[in-house]
Structure 1
Amino acid sequence: MKEDLIEILFQYREAFDSDNEPLGVIKGHEADIMLNLERAYPPILRRPAYPASPSATGAFQKNINELMKLGVFGKVGNNEEVEFTTPVIITWSNDKSRMVGFFRALNTYTIPDRYPIPTIHDTLTQLSKAIIITSMDSLKDFHQNVLTPHARKLLRIIAHCGIYEYLRMHFGIEFHPLIIKE
């Protein structure tokens, strides 16, 4: 059984981190965000940056640099047309900073994917005949979903240092758990 597990891990090695892909990536699938086109978009979907304190300014730059290094973020060009931006703030916990975007306005205009999340009963039924049960915790699983170019344009954040777009899914999107389950 140990050999079988090693073979499976080797077969799906692209799903795990490596020197070239520090977060791992779901190959062959790009997450998209569909918008409800029947409603007019309010100006709230194009918001200016929030003011930042000196300590938040440094934390923004540190967070942005880390996410760009991981391939999660990309800088939006100065001449590129921008329809949607979400302001971000820095939150602190145990002397660590984290960037938080408020995607509530965008979430009200998205059409969720209808992939059904299995109930605990369905999951246990599927596992009832299993010989071995294991689980793997994925680091930042939301960042393992690559976004379509269309979705990237919707997931743009604005801070005092410029406009950036997510190249991978962000955890503030309402239907992201459905994408992970799918």
Structure 2
Amino acid sequence: MRCLPCHKKDPAMHTALLFWNNIISACGVPEIIISDRDPKFTYEFWNNLYDMLGTKLAFSTAYHPQTDGLAQRINQTMEDILRRFCAYGMEYKDHEG
């Protein structure tokens, strides 16, 4: 799992570029991406990108607690980590350098 800083108002193209530059370049093309139906992952640009890459886009079904719950647990875990990180004034150290 990788997390990137972004803002909910970032345009889809910016999000796509973050994804391309930080995920695909570091990890390769994912076989499947599970989306919680965030509008950024439903734009035409993303559909074209997925087609070009040969990636399958799988949406969670509406009100499907197993899939939605997984995304929410990941989000909650990241929120907890970031909250502790900020609360204790930890310094970020790049794991590669």
Same fold (TM over 0.5): no
The structure carrying a bigger strand percent of its residues is 1
TM-score (norm 2): 0.27
Q: Name the larger-Rg structure.
A: 1
TM-score (norm 1): 0.18
The structure carrying a bigger helix percent of its residues is 2
Which of structures 1 and 2 has the larger relative contact order (alpha carbons within 8 angstroms, sep 6+)?
1
